[in-house]
Amino acid sequence: MQTRNKILDDLAKLMTNAVGVAQGARTEAETAMKSMFDRFLADRNLVTRDEFDAVRAMAQKAREENDRLRTEIATLAARVAALEAASRKPGKAAPRKADVSAADKSGESPASESGE
């Protein structure tokens, strides 16, 4: 009976060692695959998540600035149209260029500066 137990003990030790070797091979294979994958990604010049988020934030800020500028241009175009319409009314003299420039800086119309 003791021979049989020795054989089973040896077989159990052999299996335990085989499992240990298999786990070591698995870990080594995972490390090698990860290394190959990292090299593959590095060769493709892909951006990192941090870089992507930074560029995305810059693009959002640029869009907001464009919207703000678009609104400002529309406001200025409306002011120019109003000044041109006011200068075409009969009986009123057209505002001089200097008056329009001064009015743009002060935010008033040239007519209000002349006292009309």
Q: Which residue has the higher pLDDT, 72 or 109?
A: 72
Question: pTM score > 0.85 for this model?
Answer: no
Tens-place pLDDT, residues 42-84:
888 888 899 999 999 999 999 999 999 999 999 999 999 999 9
Gap between the Cα atoms of 10 and 86, Å rounded: 107
Gap between the Cα atoms of 20 and 25, Å rounded: 9
Gap between the Cα atoms of 47 and 80, Å rounded: 46
Gap between the Cα atoms of 104 and 2, Å rounded: 109
Tens-place pLDDT, residues 1-53:
455 688 888 888 889 999 999 999 999 999 999 999 988 888 888 888 999 99
